[in-house]
Amino acid sequence: MERYGVLVARTLLAVIFIISGFGKLADLSGTAAYIGSTGLPAPMLLALLAGVSELVGGVMVVVGFQTRLAAIGLALFLVPATVLFHNPFGLEGAEAHMQQIHALKNIAIAGGFLALAVHGAGAISLEAWLGRRVRPVEGAPTAPPVVSG
């Protein structure tokens, strides 16, 4: 169960980023206009960086390559995204409620990414496959055993 559970969790966490990243890159000018509407500088550059970060980070998490790094990166990506684009404070009614839901969703996703960063990619991942393929060179020095106590 655990080996498949981590694979499913990675996929569920990352799919929103893959879809969002692709969408941002497919409509880069629209994404830049939205970012620019907040007053942020260099909206085209930020749109490109956001799209690439989401798409590449999401794919890395799904395939299980550099998973801890990608998970931490996407969790950190959510901080400014939540504060700048899903801040419910100062809003009223349905708009405030909708932004609060988006903010809480991002916080929950960040928590999932932090758990993934702690746990790692799991047995069904590119990292695990590469680890099985790497064999020590004959005669190469090995690390001394770890002694706990």
Quick one: which of 88, 145, 120 has its CA closest to 9? Answer: 120
Q: How far is CA 19 from the centre of its chain?
A: 12
pLDDT tens per residue, range 38-76? 999 999 999 999 999 999 999 999 999 999 999 999 999
pLDDT of residue 145: 62
Interatomic CA distance for residues 97 and 113, integer angstroms? 24
The band of 85, judged by pLDDT with boundaries at 50, 70 and 90, is very high
Q: Is pLDDT above 60 for 149?
A: no
SS3 91: coil
Instruction: Please answer whether residues 116 and 71 qualify as being in contact, where contact means their C-beta atoms are separated by less than 8 angstroms.
Output: yes
pTM of the shown model? 0.84
- Helix, coil or strand: residue 36: helix
